Amino acid sequence: MSKHRHTEPPSDLVLRVKALESLLLEKGLVDAAALDILIDTYENKVGPRNGAKVVARAWADPAYKTRLLADATTAIAEFGFVGRQGEDMLVVENTPGIHNLTVCTLCSCYPWPVLGLPPVWYKAAPYRSRAVHDPRGVLREFGLELPEDVEIRVWDSTAELRYLVLPERPTGTESFSEDELASLVTRDAMIGVAKATAPDGTAGANT
């Protein structure tokens, strides 16, 4: 892992943000308690465990999967996962012959209600530049080598539709409960840079 430049910000930046916040508070443009709720919501309450529940239900319940693929926004709302940056959702399904990968080449669009806030690499230039041009190379960097006969579909979220990948259900999970299934669903699998985790805990790259 390389050094993350933002972990030790220059003190100028910290000071600038402090200055900005104090001025916005004084002008009454922001409310301190509202800021705390915004941070707490996305740091502690909303995250990829939401999306994992959606995927697990789709694996366990064929009728739900049908609804999810036909109208993802409504089907996801059955869990109460709604709102900002998930107003209009689409779920794309991986199959033995098709692998889906999501990216936002122009900014950092990401389905917040089901995945939370995006990881740094998703918003950074290397992934955004190469996911559309060299998806196989990008997936290899994530340790996922896909056979030539698998079609890769890259979804560039240029508009207000937000994408969630429905990974393939790992084999050997026939007896799993929905909760157990959800534990196999990683953030990366729902972005499309990984497969769901196999029951033995391996990355499931060859399922």
DSSP string, 123-184: HSHHHHHHTTT-HHHHHHHTT----TTSEEEEEE--SSEEEEEEPPPPTT-TT--HHHHHTT
Piece in contact with another protein (CB under 8 A), picked from 56-64, 143-151, 165-173, 177-185: 143-151
Element (H, E) at 100: strand 98-103
Q: Does the active-site annotation cover 104?
A: yes
User: What is the footprint of another protein within residues 122-141 (CB under 8 A)?
Assistant: 123-130, 132-133, 135-136, 138, 141
**Residue 100, number of CB atoms within 10 A of its CB:** 21
94 sits near another protein (criterion: CB under 8 A): no
154 sits near another protein (criterion: CB under 8 A): yes
201 sits near another protein (criterion: CB under 8 A): no
Piece in contact with another protein (CB under 8 A), picked from 35-43, 49-57, 166-174, 177-185: 35-43
Residue 38 CB, nearest approach to another protein (Å): 4
Q: Name the burial class of residue 191, with classes exposed (0-12), middle (13-18) and buried (19+) by CB atoms within 10 angstroms of its CB.
A: buried
108 sits near another protein (criterion: CB under 8 A): yes
For another protein, the closer of residues 95 and 150 by Cβ is 150
Q: Integer distance in angstroms from the first to the last C-alpha of the chain?
A: 27
Q: Can you tell me whether residue 27 is helix, strand or coil?
A: coil
Per annotation, catalytic residue among 2, 11, 22, 108: 108
205 sits near another protein (criterion: CB under 8 A): no
Indicate which residues carry an active-site annotation.
Answer: 104, 107-109
